[in-house]
Amino acid sequence: MINKDNRNSQYIEANSRVRLAVFAFLGLWIVVGFLLKPIAEKKIEQINTMSQRNRAAALNELSNVQIKFLIIPMSIFLIIQGVYLSRLGIKTLRAGIHPPPSVRMPFRTKTQTGNITKITALGYLVAGLCNFAVIAFFLMMRHEIFKHI
């Protein structure tokens, strides 16, 4: 739904279902983080005691903890976010208006056209690609840290 205010600007009104979905998505990942934290701390404590006896096995276990409790959850979050941002950028470029007509927004949003729309769309695309770059960085970092195992 498009509304006009007194200054002749158009706005897309907020959609409460989309707002609920956004906050539910963020809340879910916050809960996942709080649930995984004590489990990971317990595993790391076990690895500390194990490192006294067998350093290689301790490093191997630390590598597994890093994958299970850091890389996998963060990758899932970043993939979902990256796909969403990339799709939003492509839709914005194709439509020539931000937000694109088929996209519902969680908050009241002023529509944009022209060059600012292209910049916004490219920003979404870059942000989406950066999410995938962060995943690649995590995997590269893990490989560099644990390559001697």
**25 domain residue, yes or no:** no
DSSP code at position 91: H
Give a yes or no: residue 71 inside a domain: yes
Whether 18 is covered by a domain: the verdict is no
Residue 102 lies in a domain: yes
The reply to whether 113 falls in a domain is: yes
The number of domains in the chain is 1
pLDDT on residue 147: 65
Domain housing 87 = 34-145
Stated pTM of the model: 0.75
Does some domain include residue 39?
A: yes
Alpha carbons 142 and 127: distance in angstroms, whole number: 23
Helix axes of 55-66 and 16-51: crossing angle, nearest 10 degrees: 180
Would you say residue 2 lies in a domain? no
Walking along the chain (149 residues) 10 residues at a time, the average pLDDT comes out as 56 90 92 89 85 80 81 88 93 92 88 91 94 88 67
On whether residue 24 sits in a domain, the answer given is no
> At 99, is the secondary structure helix, strand, or coil?
coil
Burial pattern 99-123, b for ≥16 Cβ within 10 A else e, equals bbeebbbeeebeebeeeebeebbee
Q: What is the pLDDT of residue 93?
A: 93
pLDDT the model gives residue 96: 92
